[in-house]
Structure 1
Amino acid sequence: MTGSTHTDPRDAALAACHRRIAQLEARLAARETQQQQETLKFQKLFENAPLGYQSLDEHGNFLEVNQAWLTALGYTRAEVLGKNFAEFLPLEWQDHFRQNFPRFKALGEILGVEFELIHKDGHPVLVAFNGRIGRDAEGRFKQTHCIFEDISERRCAEEALRESEERYRQVINAMRETLSVITPDGTFLFVNDKAACNLSGGQPPEAVTGRNIRDFAPPEHAQALMAQYREVVETQTPRIREVCVRMAAGEQWFHNTMLPIRYGRAQQPCVLSMSLDITDRKQAQLALQHALDRLSFHVENSPLGVIEWENGRTITLWSPRAEAIFGWTADEVLGKNWGDFLLVYPEDEQSVTQSIGSLLNGSTPCNITQNRNVRKDGSVIHCQWYNSAQRDATGNTVSILSQVDDVTALHEALANLAAAREQAEAANWAKSEFLANMSHEIRTPLNGLLGMLQLLRADALRDDQREYVDLAIASGTRLTRLLSDILDLSQIEAGKMHIVAEPFTLQEILHQVVELLLPASHQSGVALKCHLDPALPPVVIGDACRLQQVLINLVGNALKYTAQGHVTIHAVALPDSRPGLQRVLFTVEDTGCGIPDQMIGQLFEPFSQAAQGYQRTHQGAGLGLSICKRLVGLMGGGISMESELNRGTSFHFSIPFLLPKGPPADCPEPRPAAVVAGRKFLLAEDDAVSRVAASRMLEKHGGVVRTVENGRQALDALRGEPFDVVLMDVQMPVLHGVEAAQAIRRGEAGEDRRGTPIIAMTAYAMAGDKEAFLDAGMDDYIAKPVDMDTLACVVAEVLQRRPGRQR
């Protein structure tokens, strides 16, 4: 049996597979070796590349930078990788990068983008970026690949070149001479601004360059100039001469220099022509001569004396007017020192020396002074001097030019005016003193009169008796109002009327005006109406008292001059008010007799009425409208009127009010009985009638009153027992009210009595009186004659601020 060898096919396939794998592994190893070599080569190129390279992820964070990048910006790789690119940008570029990085990723490429990066030491580095977006096989964003070049030095060089060119251009164009480069055939290759202006009549250089001299000069002149250009080029010899040329701008004279040069890269033979325009110089010389002639004329004919002092002392110019002012002729004073003859009044020499010294030492370039001077005849005059110093290039004073005016008449007029002003002020003071005294003397008996009438009205009277009392009170109130009007006018004219700014309710003020004047309305049968704009703010800030005074005057006048029909008050919010401010238009219209046109111009003047002469149908002193106009002006508004005879009159005035920032506080109207009842009052009053009237009024409303006749008795009474309120007259014997109030506040009536509320109840009602009383320690002030309702309001306010003794 013969043996045989059998090979399994699977083994052969396996062996072939192993060989194939070995071949593949060998090829793979060779490829990896090659790739590693190429990667190493690439890394060396990457690291040693002259341009900076950076790679960012999709959020703008650094994945890789090369050495050139690090060297350019001074960082280490560890300080950069993982950081956001925006951190290496100036603040003003960071938002720009965040906004535009998504656009870069979308576009896939940026080319030549320039911006600044921040070097590690803080200085900016200007770079130019080029970049592309790296994507994976499926086209998704993988990373950025950007290179940049530091162009700081190049940009600096370019900037330096531009600055050099600009300096060259500025120097060339700033030259007084015209500068041009011309070919022998007359073509302009270069002109500066001056040359272009002269040639073309004001056009820029680009309008001349490339054109020929024949375009700007007449043919014969152009041919002569071109012959000169050719001669200079051919002979290489400069030409210098003065020439008159008729150009587009007119006939001009030039000092001309022509030099042979080679121009441009091609070294083309040309002529460098430099011309100094001497036309202006000749015209300037002529103008200077005319100016000198004019100056001499003005100096000779000036209404002021003109004097020039060389080095501030020696006279080199003495005009005819100076001769007229001082009496010295020019021949007598020229070349002399101002101290060589009696020119300055001896007592004024020190001030004059100081004035001249300030000009000589340079502390002031000019000054205006007044001093006394002595004329040649010995008379003393007052002069005003206008002095200015001329200095040389080093700042030293060369001369002083003085213009002098004789102001003796003006000085005397001012002295007379000052004396007249003093007399007027004295008269005004005397008038104020007289009004203050008259106010006190009238108000004191009037206070007693009206007080007694108020007490009488409170008793049980027959109807006819009550009518008599009411009429007497109305007459007294009218007299009080007239007295107040006179005092108000005096205060306004003296500038002593002050406008307050306090919150108040417009509706309440208008309601009070209507309520106050309703009796007059009912008596006359004229309807009194009031319309308020719903857009008006409920509370405004202003002077409620003065507003009410204006409205009462206007409405009272309207009722006085209206026999039938109506009187209506309108209050409207104006739309042009600023934030925090509301301007309100008030209108008082009536259906009365109207006002003649010839009287309208005088209507707002003091002591003026529409009806004049003996046949006066209406009462009044004619002060109301004058005071209204001035009060409205003091409150920042204006007043006007319109009228038609037998149809009626309308007065309009607008006032700006401030608006409160918070909600208004409610302030209920106090009732006299509720305020006074049970309160203990100390009344200091030297006038017996006023003392009885005030005490009886308080007692009728439930108050307990102790009366004294002077401030000393008030202190003694207060030491003995406590009081809720002290009502203090001001003018009293022994110790007046102001002294008594100060003594109480010092504790002379007892430490526990120092805080007792004190209300001044006085006939002093001039501007400043209330402030003086408050400064003395009083809590408030009531002007006589005293109304019980007003007294109750003031007592309530004072007790709210200073509760006084415990009840």
Structure 2
Amino acid sequence: MKLKNEILSRPKKGGLRWIVGIGILLVFLILMLGVSFFIALRESQISSRQLSLNKQVEIAGKDLQKSFDAMYEDMVFFVNNLEPWTYQRDGNEQLAFEKRARRIFNNHRELLDSVIVTFPEDFVSFHFDRQNVFVKSTFGSREDLPKIGKNSIVLQNANKGVGIHVILNLNRFFRGELGNYYLGSSGEKVVWCAGEFQLFSDNFDISQIELEPEIALAIQNEINDGLKGYMVGEVYSPGDLGSKFKATIHYYPFSLQAISERFAVVFIQDISNIGFDVYNTYFYFLLGLTLLLAAVILLLYQFIKKVQGTNRQLKEYSIEIQELFRRQSLLLQESNGFIYFQDENGKMTSVGEEVTEVLGYEKGDFLRNFKSYIDPMDIQSLQIQIQNAVERKLDVFETDFNFIKKNGNWIRVKIFEKFIYDENGDFLGNVGICTDIQKKYEAQQELIVSENRLRAVLDSLPDLIFIYDNNGIFLDYYVQDRSLLLFPPEYTQGKNFREIMPEPIKGQLEVIFEKIIRTGKSQILEFEVMLPIGKRIFETRLFKLDDKRIISMARDVTAQKLWEKGLREAKEAAEQANRAKSEFLANMSHEIRTPMNGLLGIIGLLENTKLDQKQSEYIRVIKDSGKSLTAIINDILDYSKIESGMIELFPSIFELKKEFSNTLKLFEGIIKEKQIKFEVHFSESLPDKVSLDKEKINQVLYNIVGNAMKFTPNNGVVSVRVDIESFMDENFMLEVSVSDTGMGIPPEKITHLTQPFVQLDSSTTREYAGTGLGLAISKKLVELMGGELSIESELGKGSTFTFSIFGSISQSESTGEIPDMHQGEGAGFSYQNMAEKIPISILLVEDNEINLTFMRMTMEQLGYHIEIAKNGLDGVMMAGKKHYDLIFMDIQMPKMNGLEATKAIRKFDEAGNPVIIGLSANAFKEDVDTAIDAGMDGYLTKPISIEDIARVIKDTFGKHKKRKL
């Protein structure tokens, strides 16, 4: 019993272990509590500082840009008010000028280093020296002026011949402006420019600061894209590249007017020690609480857990806020704007507080009635644009329109919207920014007015110019020859034309002025006047220069009127003779082309028979001669068409660079044969798609490049350069230059090159053959397309041919292409035993016996037995009685031509069977278009090869096969 009581009185080891375990667990929980508290506290402080720095860096960037813009506007105002005679008059003018210069220096003391003012004959500079004394310096000539560095701005007033060279001290400017922001002892203020991070801290001289290469590159890319943001990474300590610390880096890009470089404000905050100072205080406090936590450990644990959950939510909210700021950076392209949110139905759900400052409306008023404040002329167009953008699944959308402010003033605003879609691509709404661009819009409109005004003057090329107000008072003049005036031009200034102009000119001018003011249209007045030099006839053109002024441009047309009648009669006689010649050439070319079809076709068939070497050589000579004759006939047809005035432009939309590249590939054979170095340069500003006559511009390019290839010796150089100059939005002037290192052209013969049938060497022993029509045709086609062809050459060095074409840029996907049966597979297509592989029924409608013989022989070689109709009427009757898969239809035939026959067949065969292919010697595009419009499926121009016929049969078989499927 005693032993039992002794054993029971001992403490149980299990209970002690449990107590020890509880103690250890309690200590561990306290340590975990401290660590968790430290992490939560650190993340909270970092998040708070990041939000603060995001706002500070944005304010700093905007302040820098605002201060610089203020200086720039002062300088523009200063240069626009300079007078060229400032230093040519008394001292009061100079004193007033220097006071203005000093006042500008005082207003922008931190930014300006020195200012150099250039007058027509005087050169003056201003700056403050180290003793804060305003110093003026003069220079004898422009060459004595100090050199201008990259941190400078040049402003010119060309009308007065004065200018200002502003030399900036950007380092002092940045240090002064950034000194207004306090980041604490662990913060650094940096300005990024041209890939360098320059430190502007209060504790260091201006120097570069280094970041992790990956972080630095990422920041530079976002700055170059115009995006603000922040990143966390390693930064080397200023002055000690061996030491680095972890920091949060916030950046905001900005630009300075007239300076091409991009800048950004960068604030760096050391976060490596955040939280430790506060934690030291709480550490001892937590250590003292260990004795009290035993009773409340579970409650405290739940509290910490709840705090951690709250911190996680705060972190998630912080990420969402940061993402919102990043979206905002895509939209904030300009200042003086506000952000808004809309749902999928276009209802305004939220708007920024700035709407009141920008437009004057309260938030609630704007949310309810914003659509009623948009110009009624713009609201429908705006809704259609947004609907189209949503249907196309665009990510962003921007446009501008008129908006009325609360005070009743209309302003121009620009909206930039980011569209939001769900995972299924359904539109959820958009976030956008609306910006007041009224000043910019007014400046653009004024620029357009000025450009139109200058263009009107330049287009007129006048001899005598007078400018009036709307009442007819002379305001200004430009006179080349005073002998053509009734009075000295100085006498007219400030007087009304009614006071000095004689009748009947005065009465005619009164009527014209009334029409111009009422209709805004230009008027032409032709009158005779007796001058001291004799009787003169003038043609005067009057039109509005702007809303308040009218301009007249007069030229002496006396000589023109004297020989105009004779010229008209001579022109009519020449045109009649030219038409007769062109019609004769066209008819003769057509009559030659028809037998040429039979000749070249039968030669092609003969090539495929068994021939010895000598016979093959004879056949090749005959075939080459026939092709040369065909090329000559084509040139004659082209030129006769141009001379008869019946050629037209057929613009289509196509890829210019791709089309030129395909045309230039045709010269690969001669390039390899003559070992020519061929260079091609396309301008980077060349548009993707243009609207031009593709065939005619390709013909010009082929003629001129072919001419350069022909006259360039072996191992020579041929260079093609394609440039473009855009103007008036969608229009452009295309300039193509082709240079070679050939023998060159004598100066006296250059003007004759573009005349028809003219060649440099017209002797019977000349080295280069041709009709002499290529350049003449090219010149006519270029002029038809609104351009000109120019030639520069130097004997022994080579020539440069340059032609320009007027065209327009197009965004349309339509190309306007027509069927062309000469496109597709090349000569390598196999047509042996086609009838066995491709069994189809064929009808030939042809009246010419030579062509009938050729087609019969061709079809026999292909293995086909064809049926023949010798005119269009017989062809229609045979097609009505029997189904044919393919019909070859000649165009010109007796009784009924091929076009009428095709239309008749299509009337009783609306399903599109059979395939009808036109055959004609007419090779013009309008002839092809007419055939296609009549219902033909394709068109073959004579002479026709067996390869062309075999390919048409194969294509026809493929079409019928698809229809059956």
> TM-score scaled to structure 2, two decimals?
0.37
Which protein shows a greater Rg? 1
> TM-score scaled to structure 1, two decimals?
0.44
